[in-house]
Amino acid sequence: GAGVSQSPSNKVTEKGKDVELRCDPISGHTALYWYRQSLGQGLEFLIYFQGNSAPDKSGLPSDRFSAERTGGSVSTLTIQRTQQEDSAVYLCASSLFGASYEQYFGPGTRLTVT
């Protein structure tokens, strides 16, 4: 079956612009997660959705970051007024309810802020 898909795969933007990153989870997976991976680092949790609700958004680094999920499926991560330190790979993962620690990742969106 289809895995987690993310778009775009690469995004280059100018400092100060807004960007939207999209995630399509595996069909039937109710949980969805966003992580950020800076160069040479492990993954840093951003936000978690169960259905369309976000019970844990504790990892969002600032109020410039927001995310939503609609229809229990697609999610969008929005970064407003991008800064150079936002440059990273943004990874989305999904999981089945009850098996939340077994998370399946998409290929990521590489964001470069110039």
Partner 1 sequence: GQQLNQSPQSMFIQEGEDVSMNCTSSSIFNTWLWYKQEPGEGPVLLIALYKAGELTSNGRLTAQFGITRKDSFLNISASIPSDVGIYFCAGPGQGGSEKLVFGKGTKLTVNP
Residue 75 is a binding residue for partner 1 (CB under 8 A):
no
Comparing CA positions, the residue from 114, 113, 110 lying closest to residue 39 is 110
Residue 72 is a binding residue for partner 1 (CB under 8 A):
no
To partner 1, the closest distance from the beta carbon of 44 in angstroms equals 8
Q: Dihedrals φ, ψ of 46, to 5°? A: -110, -60
SS3 8: coil
To partner 1, the closest distance from the beta carbon of 82 in angstroms equals 22
To partner 1, the closest distance from the beta carbon of 30 in angstroms equals 11
Shorter beta-carbon distance to partner 1: residue 16 or 36: 36
**Position among 29, 103, 111, 113 found at the interface with partner 1 (CB under 8 A):** 103
Where does residue 58 fall: left (phi above 0), alpha (psi -120 to 50 degrees), or beta otherwise?
A: alpha
Binding letters toward partner 1, positions 21-50, x by CB under 8 A: ----------x-x------xxxxxx--x-x
Where in 1-114 does DSSP place strands (E)? 5-7, 10-13, 19-24, 31-37, 43-50, 53-56, 65-69, 75-79, 88-95, 104-105, 109-113
Interaction site with partner 1 (CB under 8 A) = 4, 31, 33, 40-45, 48, 50, 55-56, 58-59, 91, 93, 95, 100-108
